[in-house]
Amino acid sequence: MSRHEDGIDWDDAYANAAHIPGAADYPPRWAAQAAAFRAQARGECDLPYGAHPRQRFDLFLPPAAARGVVVFVHGGYWLRFDKSVWSHLAAGPLARGWAVAMPSYRLAPEAPIAEITLDIAGALTVMARLARGPLVLSGHSAGGHLVARMICDDIELPPQVAGRIARVVPISPLSDLRPLLRTQMNAAFGLDVAAASAESPVCHIPRDDVPVTAWVGGGELPAFLDQARWLARAWPGTALHVESGRHHFDVIDGLAQADSPLTAALLDGFAD
């Protein structure tokens, strides 16, 4: 049963699939596109960054020396999916000469969100060793939360890794976890107010030397439009881009294209 508080059905407010026509068709389509991409891509899959079976990442390489590394972290409310569903989204950055690293991570309820955040920090440290140049971090939904966390004041990264983070583009990010306390999903997350606040990027001070763009689809649920706006409001200097006509499941499509506005938001402005 959905939880209604303050006249809001909080489960429905964050139920993306219920509001997207043909939502059930998206995951198998993504998986097929990803598999086809991997079949012809250059790089390595299932590289370890930890001992857990899900602490693995895929690294896709351009034909020439990489200009830097784009890290893409998948979403799924920290509950589902893995790196194998999103490989095709590496196509845009690869075409522009960048390597692309995509990690999986432990899922809730096996791991609390705070530990999942540490998974990504650990993955960054390993992935950064495999290609030179700037690190550009992007992630979708829960993945947007995780990449935003990488530049928060409580995250400790090796200086040689932190110093290479040149841009962060959270896509449809969950920037304030406190509303999720009112959803049934919190049975898996096990969050209380203190834990939700500690894991909310809006409750932290970000590094002031890393440009951030919060990207969200104009056709997304109001809750996700709010989440992107809250991040832009909480982090001075953060750009907010609302992409017209996009919903939560197709807002990431631009990453597969070298000339898309989303890929440009990641990579424009870096020296050739």
3-class DSSP assignment, residue 102: strand
How many contiguous H segments (helices) and E segments (strands) does the chain have? 10, 10
Of 271 and 173, more confident: 173
- State the pLDDT at residue 2: 43
By CB atoms closer than 10 A (0-12, 13-18, 19+), residue 69 is buried
Using the predicted structure, report yes or no on whether residue 222 has a pLDDT greater than 90.
Answer: yes
Cα-based angle 118, 82, 170 (whole degrees, multiple of 5):
60
Q: Which of 154, 140, 118 is nearest to 216 (CA)?
A: 140
CATH of residue 256's domain is 3.40.50.1820
Average pLDDT over residues 176-201: 98
- State the pLDDT at residue 174: 98
Average pLDDT over residues 172-178: 98
- State the pLDDT at residue 271: 73
| pLDDT tier at 196, thresholds 50, 70, 90 | very high
Q: Note whether 121 and 155 are within 8 A (CB).
A: yes
Task: Give first-to-last CA distance, the chain, whole Å.
Answer: 54
Of all residues in the chain, the percent with pLDDT exceeding 90 is 96
Dist CA 220 CA 224 (whole Å): 6
| pLDDT tier at 235, thresholds 50, 70, 90 | very high
- State the pLDDT at residue 89: 98
Average pLDDT, the chain: 96
Q: Which of 139, 124, 146, 120 is nearest to 201 (CA)?
A: 146
Using the predicted structure, report yes or no on whether residue 66 has a pLDDT greater than 70.
Answer: yes
- State the pLDDT at residue 246: 98
- Domain membership of residue 26 (yes or no) is yes
Q: Crossing angle, helix 142-149 and helix 113-127, to 10 degrees?
A: 70
Q: Residues 6 or more apart from 253 whose CB is under 8 A from it?
A: 246, 260
Using the predicted structure, report yes or no on whether residue 4 has a pLDDT greater than 80.
Answer: no
Q: Which of 138, 78, 117, 122 is nearest to 198 (CA)?
A: 117
- State the pLDDT at residue 3: 52
Instruction: Print the domain residue range for 206.
Output: 4-267
- Domain membership of residue 272 (yes or no) is no
Measured from the Cβ of residue 226, the count of other Cβ atoms closer than 10 Å reads: 17
- State the pLDDT at residue 7: 73
- Domain membership of residue 129 (yes or no) is yes
Q: Which of 178, 180, 123, 128 is nearest to 147 (CA)?
A: 123
Number of domains comprising the chain: 1
Q: At residue 86, what is the residue type?
A: W
pTM above 0.75, yes or no: yes
- State the pLDDT at residue 8: 86
Instruction: Locate 47 and state its tokens.
Output: 């590289």
Using the predicted structure, report yes or no on whether residue 16 has a pLDDT greater than 80.
Answer: yes
Average pLDDT over residues 73-88: 98
